[in-house]
Every structure is written in structure tokens, then in C-alpha cells.
Chain A
Amino acid sequence: MARKNEVQTQQKQEVQETQKAERMHDRRVYMPRADIYETDDAIHLIANMAGVDQDSVDITLEKNVLTLRGQASAQTPEGMELAYSEYAVGDYERSFVLSDEIEREGIDAKMQDGVLDLTLPKSKSARSRRIPVKAA
């Protein structure tokens, strides 16, 4: 049942509670959509977090688990009523297991237009550990 003007895009995906502990805030939590690409010396992660600015984003790296959390600002315009709704507003949370060791000091994060741009430089040991295989 195709409707007009449709782009095949996935809906916002809500995070499924996996741990036993519950969240303190009774708010929806969504999984930010992310692009990840790698260069020789860094891993780049770009995540869509609409409504989040640089003060409300929290990035933690514990061992090799990178966790992104973002608190989205409310979108309710003052004195207005919701007449029709296709999406809900909530916070964002997502974790990634990094495949390489990261130089913690060199992590760079930028937040612009609701997009988090994260650069995770690979540590020197991780870079040098790669053994080139020569063809015989």
C-alpha cells in the first residue's frame, strides 16, 4: 500500500531495555542512526541526534565500549496543542564496541545541527600492531 511521496526510510527506533535496571526518567529513548567509517589513523562516527546540543550530549569510553547519550530538548511550542503526530520526542542512547584501541586524549567531538561528529584516533600501538602481509 504505497502512499504518495514516500522515501524508504526507517522510522525512529526505540531502544529496547536490556538491563535489569530501569531508567530514572520515564522518557522514551531512541537509538540514534549512525554512520561509521574508518581511516588509517582514526575511527569516525557520525550520529543523528535531533534536538541535542553540545551541552546535553554525553560521550563515555569504558574499555572498548563507547556510549553516546543525548538529552533532547522538548519540542512543544508554547500554548499549542498537538493535532497530529507522526513522531515522538525522546532522548538518545547507543553503545558501540570499538575494534581498536583509542587514544583517549585525542578524541574530538562536535555537535552541529543535531548531528554528532566524533573522531576517535587509534592509539599508536593499535596502528603499529597491524602486520603487513607480503605476497611471496
Chain B
Amino acid sequence: MFYRNPYGMGSVFREFERLRRSMDDLLEGFPGRTPTAYPAVNVWTSQEKVMVTAELPGVKPDALDISVNGNILTIHGKPEADETDRSYHRRERPVAEFHRTVELPCRVDDEKVEARLEKGILAIAMPRSEADKPRRITVKSE
């Protein structure tokens, strides 16, 4: 797939993206499956703001670096490092440093971004920029 973010491309593309994801789900468990970017994000919108959530268990707030530029959100961080001299029976938890860029559906006010990390869930709330807020248009009748 060539589109990282299907925003602004109409519902056909969004539907296509959804279809591709369900295909990925089907193929999960087979070798050579497509890895998704880490962390996976959900994007929420309302008239007033945009919110991005991600599951980042074990990541400390100080280990996170979040920045917003226009409609681009960048999340950079590193899970807390384990001691490496242990002999592990299993090692499945992600340990690598991550860098994720998310294209937001609209421009946001980067002065008022709020990020919370609770129970391993990161929630970044960003108010829509005044210029980009949806405007209600009154229809006049003659």
C-alpha cells in the first residue's frame, strides 16, 4: 500500500484501507505478513479537537518526545530498557526505539496540545486550529 494515511482521499480510499487491514488480519500468522508501524494509533475527531491514542505499555512519560507541526504529529520514544544479561525464556515485548509520524485530518493549534500517559495508553489531545474548524453555514431563504 502506498498511502500511509488515507485522509482527504475520500471514503473510497478509507474503505480500501479498511479492507486491506482486514486482509492483513486474515493473513496474520503466516510468514511474511506486513508489519505495521509502531505504535499503532487510533485517531479521534470532534468539532473542537483531534485526539490520537496509542498503546505504549512500559513507556515512561520522560521517555516520550511528542511534537506537532501543522497537521503532522510525531511520536518518538523508547520503552524502558531491561537488563540485558538475563537469560530469557521468552522475549516478545518491543524494546526498540520508535519514531512514528501521523498525518492529522486537519491543522491543530500546536500551542495547546495535551498529552497524557495512563495505564500504558497515550492520549494526545489537540484542539483544531481556528482557521480549520468546521463552519456552520446558514441557508437563507428568500
Contacts and interface: CB of A to CB of B under 8 A. Distances in A.
A104 interface: no
A7 interface: yes
A60 interface: no
B68 interface: no
Most A CB within 10 A of own CB, among B40, B56, B86, B92 = B92
Contacts of B98: 7, 9
Instruction: For chain B, give the interface size range.
Output: 35 or more
Interface string A71-85: 001011101111111
A33 B57 CA distance: 10
B112 interface: no
Contact of B55 (A80, A82, A114): A114
A102 interface: no
Contacts of B135: none
B119 interface: yes
Nearest to A16: B29
Interface stretch (A18-26, A50-58, A61-69, A119-127): A50-58
A33 B90 CA distance: 9
B140 to A, nearest CB: 29
B119 A84 contact: no
A33 B58 contact: no
Interface of A is mostly: loop
Given A73-B119, A81-B46, A83-B43, A9 B100 contact: no
Contacts of B82: 35, 46
A82 B52 CA distance: 10
A37 B87 contact: yes
Interface in A1-21: 1, 3-13
A113 B120 contact: yes
Interface of A: 1, 3-13, 33-39, 46, 48-53, 73, 75-77, 79-87, 113-115
12 contacts: A5-B99, A7-B35, A10-B35, A33-B93, A35-B88, A39-B86, A46-B93, A50-B56, A53-B119, A113-B117, A113-B119, A114-B119
Counting from the closest, the 4 A-B pairs by CB-CB distance are A114-B120, A114-B57, A50-B55, A86-B40
